[in-house]
Amino acid sequence: MYGKEVIQIDLFHVMQLLNNGIKADLQKYREKRFDAERRELRSLRNWVNSIQKLIKDGLDFSLLLKVIGNPPKVKSDHDSSSKCAKLTSRVMDLLKVTAPDQFFRELQEVIKELEGSGDPEFNFSDALLKVMPKKRFTEKGMLRVKKELLKKLKTFFLELRKPIDDESIKFYYDSHVIFFQPENVTLKRKEKLASLLTCHSELKKYREMTLLVGEISRLPPGEINGHQIKDLKEDHTHSKKLNAAIRTIKKHEDDILRFVEFFKQNPGLSKAQHSNMEFHNKKFKEPFESGNNLLKKERVLGRLNTQLSGKVEWFLDNEVVT
């Protein structure tokens, strides 16, 4: 395309390398922000499932808590799973009570504590009120309510997990707007990007990074001074994949930017030619792909000459080596 004086690395693949590294960081961020807490909530639910299975197998409440052990631990900075862990601990204390009068008295205290806390807490306490005995507090009624207590606890876990699931899925679909260059940012994408960076301000550095390297394709050659690559910095908070991408781009900086001086000398070349070689490659391959690889030499040369608008030389021998 440019002659022997230019060895150019396709900028499309430079951006692809960087953006794939950023995607690894976004996945790491999603894992920390959403998925870790979702796993904690699932672990709590599975733990309650294990208790229910032991009850179904006929194990007494007084023994099963010794068999099952403590509930899974959760991180204190995870609000939803911390709420669930706290309520789970309270419920386990209730299950240990063997006297019906004491059990229902303490259960009423738990219900009262949950009033006004929030919708999931209200739903949980309201569901328990509906299964409370109307007249006498008996051992049979206590066992029935204990089983219901475990069911409602699992429902509580699901109610707190659903918003996190929805946020995680929304983040997965919205995070791709980080990679759009300004010329491709529609009004809808602009609004989505603003919303994403407002909710997740930690991601602004990735937006700035992809815009920085994108300048190589976006700006006129006269405005490309090399800072687009020099300003990239490795960081211990980045994923290994992103740091490797930055290291590779900086290593090949001279080859990536070699086209700049050539374009200053040849201002007639189109912008597309310094941002992406795929158009040229496809144009070259087209004559061969349009046939069945059994085209005669004259026809292949004719197609190439017509479509490439240049001189085409034939270097293949007539003899076919098998």
Domain chopping of the chain, boundaries: 37-165
Mean pLDDT for 62-70 is 78
pLDDT digits (tens, 9 = 90+) for 129-165: 888 888 888 988 898 998 999 999 999 999 999 999 9
pLDDT of the residue at 309: 65
pLDDT of the residue at 319: 59
Rg, C-alpha atoms of the chain: 32
- Separation CA 143–CA 145 (nearest Å): 5
DSSP output for 26-93: HHHHHIIIIIHHHHHHHHHHHHHHHHHHHHHTT--HHHHHHHH-SPPP--TT-HHHHHHHHHHHHHHH
pLDDT of the residue at 294: 55
Question: With bands split at pLDDT 50, 70 and 90, how would you rate the model's confidence at 20?
Answer: very high
Give the type of residue at 142. M
pLDDT of the residue at 9: 75
pLDDT of the residue at 110: 87
pLDDT digits (tens, 9 = 90+) for 33-48: 999 999 999 999 999 9
pTM above threshold 0.75: no
Considering the chain, what is the average pLDDT of its residues? 85
Mean pLDDT for 94-103 is 89
pLDDT of the residue at 311: 73
pLDDT of the residue at 318: 60
When mean pLDDT is compared across 3-7, 214-218, 232-236, 253-257, the lowest value belongs to 3-7
When mean pLDDT is compared across 207-211, 241-245, 264-268, the lowest value belongs to 264-268
- Separation CA 42–CA 273 (nearest Å): 52
Q: What share of the chain has pLDDT > 70, as a percent?
A: 86
pLDDT of the residue at 290: 58
